[in-house]
Amino acid sequence: APIGTDIRDYLKLNDNTIEISVTPNRADCLGIIGVARDVGVLNQVALTEPDMSPVAATIDATLPIRVDAPQACPRYLGRVVKGIDVKAPSPLWMREKLRRCGIRSIDAVVDVTNYVLLELGQPMHAFDLSRIDGGIVVRMAEEGETLTLLDGNEAKLNADTLVIADHQKALAMGGIFGGEHSGVNGETQDVLLECAFFSPLSITGRARRHGLHTDASHRYERGVDPALQYKAMERATRLLLDICGGQAGPIIDVTHENELPKRATITLR
């Protein structure tokens, strides 16, 4: 900061933090954009959305993705981003917004996924691409299968737990918590961004079984907008490239349309 700058102005500390209690039926308000949309309607003010425009692929890098549990995961998007600088610092404005929302800054990649979760209400995850063996398989866990989580604890999984796996092992508990083996670390150069729609019924109760309650499971249990995944992926890709550099491949889309929530028809009288 320039010498003599008022720290309140430099850190933009003259701010108001508003804590909102969201009822279970308003999962759309578990992202800032959802709250802003409601406020805009009530006050007849146009909503200014963040930049979610498509990011053109500059490399052809993809990864095989197979969904063996389409009822639990009707839509799974993946995107390879190569050549990132994982040691690049997250911008101050992002770190401050995360801090004010009670989230600790970890590294630029994780900060981007957490920021998109807060902004749009869409959970995301980033895998270290070099730790994925063969490709991604979205499946139900084998009874008794184990997974070491990002916090170092080992989870013994039941057959009704959704996992994100590669061709050899489970990498993450789908929609709940990432695994230690495939997490982003200080040596990561290439990542796979994950953005998915998981059925609420496939997530409900699984986190509590392992003594967990994560920002991701909180949202998936209540229902994430099934039309949000592409927007969140583009938003995260743009932020990641702006902060860490690198090159992005095309979005890999595995969608089972017949398993997605159906639009309800309402007759107004």
Q: What is the pLDDT of residues 215-248, one digit of tens each?
A: 999 999 999 999 999 999 999 999 999 999 999 9
Closest listed residue to residue 164, CA positions, set 191, 188, 189, 132: 132
Tell me the mean pLDDT in the region 252-257.
Answer: 97
Write down the pLDDT at residue 269.
84
**Mean pLDDT score across all residues of the chain:** 95
What letters, b where the CB count within 10 A reaches 16 and e where it falls short, cover 158-174?
A: eeebbbbbbeeebbbbb
Can you list the alpha helix ranges (DSSP code H) found in the chain?
7-10, 32-43, 92-100, 108-120, 200-203, 206-209, 215-222, 229-244
Query: Rounded to whole angstroms, what are the CA distances from 34 to 20, 49, 118, 121, 199?
Result: 12, 10, 10, 8, 20
Q: pLDDT tens digit string along 12-67?
A: 777 888 888 999 899 999 999 999 999 999 999 999 999 999 999 999 999 999 99
DSSP character at residue 159:
T
* Sign of the torsion angle spanned by Cα atoms 205, 208, 214, 215: positive
Q: Domains in the chain, please, with CATH?
A: 28-257 (3.50.40.10)
Q: Which residues pair with 127 in a beta bridge?
A: 183, 192
